[in-house]
Structures are given as structure tokens and as C-alpha cells.
Structure 1
Amino acid sequence: MGDNHTRSVTYRTARTADGTTVVTLRGELDILAVPALSAALDALTAGAEPDLIFDLRPVSFVDCTGLGILCRARNRVRARHGRLRLVVPGGAVLRLFRQTGLAGAFEFCGPLAADSAAVSLR
């Protein structure tokens, strides 16, 4: 799988057997992560009907710019008639979505199977 690095977050992309792109984010999703991550997410959401899952379980911190990049990705996916799902840990990250009123704006799904057939995109 391809590893990519920004200043504060690492992300990995993989494709499942059914063609869904899984983006696993690790670290802090903050203002330092946005420039590089924004370009990568724009590329992932550029095609017709993108099918994405963002796995946020390894994310330790999300600030308002991190929420903003997730909302931007959601809006781009919806404009292209695609689907975006989030896998979030309990605790602070889930509370953040609830407290900001964004819980209803995203589709959440359960943890990804550890043995899912994933193939590297890169």
C-alpha cells in the first residue's frame, strides 16, 4: 500500500475487492495536514461516482480545518453522485461530529474487517 505524509497526518489508500477506496488517516487532522491532504482527497473525489470510506480510527485529533476538509470531500462526492462513509472511533472524534451538528451530514459505518481483500492503489 502507498504511504503518504503531510506534516501531521499520514494516510494510506487501498481498494477493496468491490472497488471501494479506503483512505486510512492516522495522526492529527489539523491545519498542518490540510494543504497536502486536500490535493490528495480532491484527486480521489474527482471521478464519476466515487465510492470512499475514510477510516478515522487512528486519528488522535481533529480541528475545524480537519472537519472542513472532510466536509469538502463529502460535498465533492455528493456532487458526483458517489458515496462517502466514515469509520470513527468512539470518544472524542465521535463527540466532535455530534457537538458540531455534523453527525447527520455523514454516513457512518462499522469497523472495517481486518481481513478484507484490499489492493494497493499505488
Structure 2
Amino acid sequence: MRQEPRKDPAPLTRHLRVREDRGHTVLEFRGEIDIAAATEIMPYLDLVTAPGGARVVIDLLHVEFFDCSGLRLLYRARSRVLERDGQLQLVCAHPLTLRVLKVTGLSRLLPPLATLDAALGQPEATSGTL
């Protein structure tokens, strides 16, 4: 039996909150996203990206530090969502995180939006599909 993502805004870990908003599952990453945080986040990321046609937003607005472990999470989420005909949007406004996304090329595959409203307001997101 398939598990449904949690619907409440309660923190699932100290680095992640998950909620539903306007037909999207919003994964709000918080604090320092390093290998320890990625280990906590991965099971929830896999849960919400498992259903076909999932509409997912990853919100990095509350992230203070973001390393290659965070990049792996984003790439994994993008791959899983696209394999299942879903949509993925990324929200990021922190200059250093934006720079990391640009330098690694991930911003071309998953273009970041500046606000959560911008991500939730895009009805036919392309998720950076090439």
C-alpha cells in the first residue's frame, strides 16, 4: 500500500517541513543542508516524489548553508519527478546557493524561482525539461 505524504505543517526533521499548498507538496529545507541533513531528508523526499504526476516544490528560502549533499537531493528529486511525469519547482533567493546552482549547471536543469508564490502560481511547470 502506498503511503501518502503528510498533510500537516509539523516539522518532520529539524531540516525539513512538508505541507500541501495549492495542489503542490512543498518541501521546505531549513538550516544547514549537509550530509547529515540530507540523510534525514532523503526518506521524505523519496516519499513525496514516488507517486506519478507529483507536483513538488522544494523551498530553500530558509537554508543557511548548502553543500554537495543538497545538490544531490535536488538532482534526485528532479530525476524521480520527471521519471514519473510530475512537476518540480525550486525556490531559492540566497546568493551563495544560487551561485552553487549556477556553477554546477543545476540551475539550467532546475531553474530557481525567487518566491514560493511564483512556484505555486505556475500551473504547467516544465521542471527544467530539456
TM-score class normalised by the smaller sequence: 0.7 to 0.9
- For 2:59, which of 55, 62, 66 is the aligned residue? 55
Distance 1:110 1:80 in 2: 26
- Give aligned pairs, total: 110
Could you say which residue in structure 2 is the equivalent of 1:100? Answer: 104
Q: Is the 8 A contact 1:84 1:107 kept in 2?
A: no
Runs of 4 or more, structure 1, over 6 Å off, are: none
TM-score, reference length from structure 2: 0.78
Which consecutive unaligned segments of at least 5 residues does structure 1 have? 117-122
Letter in 1 for 2:11: D
Which consecutive unaligned segments of at least 5 residues does structure 2 have? 1-8, 121-130
Distance 1:109 1:63 in 2: 19
Per-residue Cα deviation, 1:23-51 (whole angstroms, up to 9, x for no partner) = 11110111111222111100010101110
Could you say which residue in structure 2 is the equivalent of 1:119? Answer: none
Percent of residue pairs bearing the same amino acid type: 35
Superposed displacement of residue 68, structure 1: 0.6
Could you say which residue in structure 2 is the equivalent of 1:16? Answer: 21
Could you say which residue in structure 2 is the equivalent of 1:39? Answer: 43
More helix by share: 2
Higher RCO, 1 or 2 (CA under 8 Å, sep at least 6)?
A: 1
Does residue 88 of structure 1 match 2:92? yes
Letter in 2 for 1:5: T
